[in-house]
Structure 1
Amino acid sequence: MEKNMAFTIPAWVPEGAQRYLAHTETGRSIRDIARSAGCHASTILRQIRRIEMRRDDPLVDAALQSLAETHFAIADQRQDFSTSPEEGQEEQFDREALRVLRRLCETGSVLAVAEDMDKAVVVRDTGDAGATRTAVVECKTAQALALQDWITCDNPGRVSRYRISTSGRTALSRLLAEAENKARMRNEFGMADAQTPFQPQASGSSSERARRVRYSAAESPLVALARRRDRDGKPFLDETLVGAGERLREDFELAQIGPQVAQNWDRFLTAGGRGSFDSETHGGRGSSDARDRVARALSDLGPGLSDVALRCCCYLEGLELAEKRMGWSARSGKIVLRIALQRLKRHYEDQVGRDRMIG
């Protein structure tokens, strides 16, 4: 008898979807899957029915179809299924999920997905019938989020609008905690000397320390500051300043330069790095025009202002963390950020007619 073969699928695929595809695409019986999983057949049946009922969702249906064509085309009943062991694959998915879910947590944000389009966009309602595009998302990422049940759509159509679900918010909390732990490890082992004076005291419970954060870590620092009021009762950041920051973020997203910039952080955050930043060095990925616009904007801001703009607008880094990493005093970051946004707004006003927004 031929020996069973292992057939790998991506690690992010939910367990129920794995078993659904094993049953529908390979013809394995429910009892056979239950024996392999070590559970009752009724449990497998409920999982399969639950996935089947969700196929009315266009993203879920597309995700299952793609997985079937890519990972189950040569499958048969002799094969067992396991998650893919490829290093970095799950980490990349978590990073993208964190980026998108944080944007969807902002008030009035939806993920808009049009039929036959390779990319989706996160759009935030700004009031007065206005909207701002805050993120560009690969459709495969959107499909994965839908299959995970982290985003839901009440009325699918030619343009489907998805909102973050309860399970999506739970997943976001977990991803934020994991990202915070990784950042803390990097600080302790990579930047220990620079960070020591600014580390919080170890006393107090984790829940008490969490309440000291001045705004939700799940949302953009700009959106949080826009809700604050100054001494005169006016918004700390008006809509034009938030729009300038969102414009920088949009160009950053369109350029798809996040991973490359993160790998060369110090070079990009120095005058020499900004001056020598060349879109051709990134292999032509994303939009070279968008990369040029990001480079020009940061160069115009200059050292200090460009640092806080890149961290808070593009990487959505919290003000507290930015203050610590840059060696600033507490609560000074919001003032510097506002100055940076004012300068950024003036930069874009000077670019009218030359650097127009896409769309």
Structure 2
Amino acid sequence: MTAIHVEQTKEDPAGRLQQVTVNLGESPLSWLHARGHLKERHYVAGDMLRADWEKAGLGPRVTMRWDGAPPQGRGGRGRPDPSLAQLSARERFDGAIRAAGPGLADILWRVACAGEGITAAERALGWPSRAGKLVLTLALDRVADWYRVPG
């Protein structure tokens, strides 16, 4: 896969605007892991959470659903029944978020699933600079335990 790099203006933690090159194919978790800010265990757990989020169909849709219309009398609401794989992914995702716990799940979802950078997540949550990485690591540690990722 070819990396796509673009120039963007980003605000650093001190509030200064800087011109940076961004790899559009790199998630915030992979960026942190590649630079030694996340252990392999944390990266794997975060990636498993993101995969379950996507499999469960919890992410935003950017295109129209092309599923066939359900036959009459099925489900009663005009929607196809979710697949067993989708339901299982939703159960795993919900369990992992519960394992992270209140106060930790917010940044976990923002960074691992929504692809928000640490600085943007801290700002959105009203947290001080540099608090996000510590809280994210705590959340990923709990999620790694829940997914039984070896340490």
TM-score relative to the length of structure 2 = 0.70
| Counterpart-to-counterpart distance in 2, 1:253 and 1:338 | 21
Residue 2 of structure 2 is matched in structure 1 by 164
Matched, 1:344 2:108: no
**Which residue is equivalent to 1:248?**
49
Cα distance change of structure 1 residues 334 and 259 upon mapping to structure 2, 3 Å threshold: same
Which one has more relative contact order, counting CA pairs under 8 Å at least 6 apart?
2
Mapped partners of 1:329, 1:209: distance in 2: 20
> Which of 236, 242, 264 in structure 1 is aligned with 2:37?
236
Structure whose CA Rg is larger: 1
Q: CA deviation at 1:216?
A: 4.0
Q: Secondary structure at the match of 1:164?
A: coil
Establish whether residue 221 from structure 1 lines up as the match of residue 24 from structure 2: no
Q: Which residue of 2 aligns with 1:320?
A: 119
Give, as a single letter, the amino acid of the residue that structure 2 aligns with 1:220: S
The answer to whether the Cα contact below 8 Å between 1:244 and 1:341 also exists between their aligned partners in 2 is yes
Deviations 1:16-73 (A, max 9, x none): xxxxxxxxxxxxxxxxxxxxxxxxxxxxxxxxxxxxxxxxxxxxxxxxxxxxxxxxxx
Q: CA deviation at 1:199?
A: 9.8
| Structure 1 runs (4+) greater than 6 angstroms displaced | none
Higher percent of residues as helix: 1
Alpha-carbon distance in structure 1 between the residues aligned to 2:23 and 2:143: 24
User: Distance in 2 between the 1:291 and 1:249 partners?
Assistant: 11
TM-score with structure 1 setting the length: 0.31
User: Between Structure 1 and Structure 2, how many residues are aligned?
Assistant: 127
Flag the 1:217–1:324 CA change in 2: closer, same or farther, 3 A.
farther
In structure 2, the residue matched to 1:296 is 95
How far, CA to CA, are the matches of 2:91 and 2:81 in structure 1? Answer: 12
Residues in 2 aligned to 1:240 and 1:333: alpha-carbon distance in whole angstroms = 18
Q: Is the 8 A contact 2:100 2:140 kept in 1?
A: no
Secondary structure at the counterpart of residue 60 of structure 2? helix
1:347 and 1:288 map into 2 onto residues whose CA distance is 18
Within 2, Cα distance between the matches of 1:319 and 1:311? 9
Q: Which amino acid aligns with 1:322?
A: A
Match of 2:19 among 210, 213, 223: 210
